[in-house]
Structure formats: C-alpha cells, structure tokens
A and B are shown apart, each in its own frame.
Chain A
Amino acid sequence: MDTVRSLQHLHAAYILTWCVHLGYVLYLVRAFVEVKREADELRKN
C-alpha cells in the first residue's frame, strides 16, 4: 500500500501546488509594482 516513493509523491503534490500558486501571486505583485512605476513615470512627464 504505502511505500516511501508514494508518500514522496503525496508530499510533492501538495508542495508543488502551493509553489505554483505562490509563484503566481508573486508574479501578480511584481506586475502591480511595474504598472505603478509606469503610471508614476507617465505622471512625471
């Protein structure tokens, strides 16, 4: 039933899920910062 390999796969699935989601949230934060920077630049001009 449970092998070391299958438990590794279980943990990998949960960790990978949150790595993907956290990576996407980080991408969104960076994109927001970029948009704000460009808007500030435009206002200065």
Chain B
Amino acid sequence: MKRATFTLSAIGVAVLLSYGLRQALQIAPTEATMGNIQRIFYYHVPSYATAFTMFAINLVASIFYLVRRHTPAAMAADAVAVSAAELGVIFCSVGLLTGMLWAKPVWGIWWTWDARLTSTFVLWLIYVSYLMLRRLSTAGQAPTLAAALAVFGFVDVPIVYMSIRWWRTQHPQPVIFGEQGSSGLDPAMTTALLVNLAAFLCYGALVFWVRYKLERARQELHEAQALHTIQLARAEAR
C-alpha cells in the first residue's frame, strides 16, 4: 500500500469512526429499561465481531503455514497469523472490559462465571498463550507450534458464539441473529450498530496492515542479522 493510499484510508477510517461515535452516543434512541448505559453495546459487539474476524484470519493463515511451511509463502502466512492474533487479543480485551463496565450497573456485578463470559475469557487466554509462546520461545519450531495451537484454539470461537443458545446464561440472549429471525432492535439502533461494526472492521483492517508490515520488516531484519552472524563466523574461521 502506497503512503498516499494509506493516509487516505486512515482519514476514511477516522471519519467512519467519528460518525459511528455520533450514531452511538447521539442518534441511536435510548433503550427503555437500561437507559443510556446500553450504548456500550455499540462498542461491545463490534469489538467482539472484529476479534472473531481476526481469529478466523489467524486460523486460515495458520493452516496455510502448517501445509506450506517449507515454501517462501509460509513466512508471509506466519506474519499474517501473528498480526491477526495480536489484534484479536486487543479487540477481545476491549470486549471484555466494556462488558464488565456494562455488567456492573445492570447486573450489579462486574463478572460472573456463566458460559458466555467463561468461554470468552478462555478464548482470550488461548490467544494470549499463543502470543506468549511466540514471544518467549527461542526454538525455531515456535511458529509451527503456535500454528497448531491456533488451529485447536479457534474451536472456542463457535463455542463462545453459541454459548448463549446452548446454555442458560446471565448474558442476554442474541438480539441480532436470534431464533425468531428478526433482530428485535429498533431500526435506528441497528443502523448505529452496523455503522460501528463497519468502522471497527475498517479500523481493524488498517491496523492489521500496519502490524503485518512490522512483522515482515522484523522477519527481514532477523534474516539479515543471521546472515551477518554467519559471515562474521566465516571471516573469523579464516
């Protein structure tokens, strides 16, 4: 992506996010029972949607890496995987934090170990452990092990999504893709949600691109450093 294209994309994302903020705080109607605290919904749901998208990208890139790990394209797939996992953790953290801030005034508690919250926390832990494995491991097998962990870790994503349908939970039942087929949301609320969803996905894509470029630059640097060390060792041996 050229610098001008990136700048224009960043401006576009900033405008979309600002519009989303206005939709969420000013235009969307106030919910009848919860009041204004329900407006956290417009950041809470898009955060998780973006996190799940990132984890799905991580899954595809990890499978690609495992299948083609002896080809030059594997390094790019590995960069995609780690970038998506890191962003997924960031968005999932925001989802957890906004959820707790919403829960306290509405439920009277910050946290409860129900199926939705627990499975989400486990999901967060899985991807944090994925990132820690990559960061702390010195062995050359770290990307392969991390890719295998990512494939099994993604199993928790559909469990999180379906948990409120499968089990009785403190967390509310689905309001967007409920069993009745209708959203149950006021059209103005749906608009605010969709605008913020689009804004978060665009912002996620933009930051993902930056993180991917950083990972590729790191890979090139590590290759150059390894080559430099070999050249120095050879010169000393002579």
Contact = CB atoms under 8 A, between A and B. Distances in A.
Interface in B30-47: 33-37, 39-40, 43-44, 47
A6 B105 contact: yes
B176 interface: no
A7 to B, nearest CB: 6
Interface of chain B: mostly helix, strand, loop or mixed: helix
Interface string B65-109: 000000000000000000000000010011001100110111000
A28 B37 contact: no
Interface string A25-41: 10010011001101100
Contact of A10 (B36, B47, B211, B214): B36
Interface of chain A: mostly helix, strand, loop or mixed: helix
Given A13-B98, A16-B98, A17-B94, A7 B218 contact: no
A28 B90 contact: no
A24 B40 CA distance: 21
Contacts of B228: 42, 45
Contact of B101 (A12, A32, A38): A12
B185 interface: no
Contacts of B33: 1
A16 B93 CA distance: 11
B36 A42 contact: no
Contacts of A1: 33-35
A6 B35 contact: yes
**Among the interface residues A2, A9, A16, which one has the most CB atoms of the partner chain B within 10 A?**
A9
Contacts of B36: 2, 6-7, 10
Interface residues of A, number: 26
A13 B224 contact: no
Interface of B: 21, 25, 33-37, 39-40, 43-44, 47, 90, 93-94, 97-98, 101-102, 104-106, 203, 207, 210-211, 214, 217-218, 220-221, 224-225, 228
30 contacts: A5-B105, A6-B106, A9-B37, A9-B40, A9-B101, A10-B39, A10-B101, A13-B43, A16-B94, A16-B97, A17-B43, A17-B47, A17-B94, A17-B98, A20-B94, A21-B94, A21-B203, A24-B207, A25-B210, A28-B207, A28-B211, A28-B214, A32-B217, A35-B214, A35-B218, A38-B225, A39-B224, A42-B224, A42-B228, A45-B228
